[in-house]
Amino acid sequence: MAKAKRIIVMLLSVLIMVTVFSACGKEELPEGITALNKAKVGDKVNLGSYEQDNNTENGKEKITWLVLAVDGKKALLISEKVLDTKKYNNEKVDITWENSTVRTWLNKDFTAAAFTKKDLKKVIETTVANPENAKHKTPGGNETKDKIFLLGLEEVEKYFETTESRSAMGTEFAEQNGLKLGKYINNKGTGMWLLRTPGHKANGVCYVNNDGRDYTTYVDYESCGIRPAMWVKK
């Protein structure tokens, strides 16, 4: 009888230890954030980190992403906020996404700053189509292979049903770097964000304005922000 009790006590001890270690190993998700492997369209997930509050002393903040699409075991994400401010291209010349300086920045500098090696294992290299501007017939250039990219105008129209849903708040860091924020009641704090679709001319590019509508500007315009997009493994 005593031996049986000892066995029961030992089993209970092991069970308690397993439960404790399992709980410790599980990261508690912030309110409103879904685990990536359970995410559905419209959910928000965290992956990577980037300076956002413009206070480098407290470290980088986690990046929150919106789930735009789910295809089997992969998901298309776009940052919830406008994370930084960059020109589409450093010089005002005829250019497409393939050779733009922002593409290089996204896949080198931003990637290095935002993701750990573990994070990057989830990011899928994607074939990115670059169709012409449907309205102005401006050529979009060649297909590219990218891990991080900007949405095209056709994707914005596909994944965002309303102009309001396209509006995005800018971070303090992006504002410090020159992001033009909305000042009116209906768009206060929102930031303009670049697309990869060419504009009305070959030296122009499309962007989403503070009010969620799309416009075009020159490729070297310096007050548009960046909402990175990517396909990731679930």
Spell out the per-residue pLDDT of the chain, length 234, in tens: 555 555 554 555 545 454 444 444 456 888 899 999 999 999 999 999 999 999 999 999 999 999 999 999 999 999 999 999 999 999 999 999 999 999 999 999 999 999 999 999 999 999 999 999 999 999 999 999 999 999 999 999 999 999 999 999 999 999 999 998 888 766 789 999 999 999 999 999 999 999 999 999 999 999 999 999 999 999
Structural domain includes residue 94 = yes
Global pTM? 0.87
What pLDDT was estimated at residue 5? 53
181 found inside a domain: yes
- Is residue 120 in a domain? yes
Residue 26 within any structural domain of the chain: no
Total number of domains constituting the chain: 1
Task: Give the DSSP letter string of the chain.
Answer: -HHHHHHHHHHHHHHHHHHHHHHHHSPPPPTT---GGG--TT-EEEEEEE--SS-GGG-PEEEEEEEEEEETTEEEEEESSB-EE--SSSS-SS--GGG-HHHHHIIIIIHHHH--HHHHTTEEPEEEP----TTT-------EEESSBPPPHHHHHHH--SHHHH--BBPHHHHHTT--B--STTTTTBB-EEEEEE-SSTTEEEEE-TTS-EEEEETT-SS-EE--EEEEE-
- Write out the residue range of the structural domain in which residue 181 sits: 36-233
In a domain, 15, yes or no: no
Instruction: Kindly state whether residue 80 falls inside one of the protein's structural domains.
Output: yes
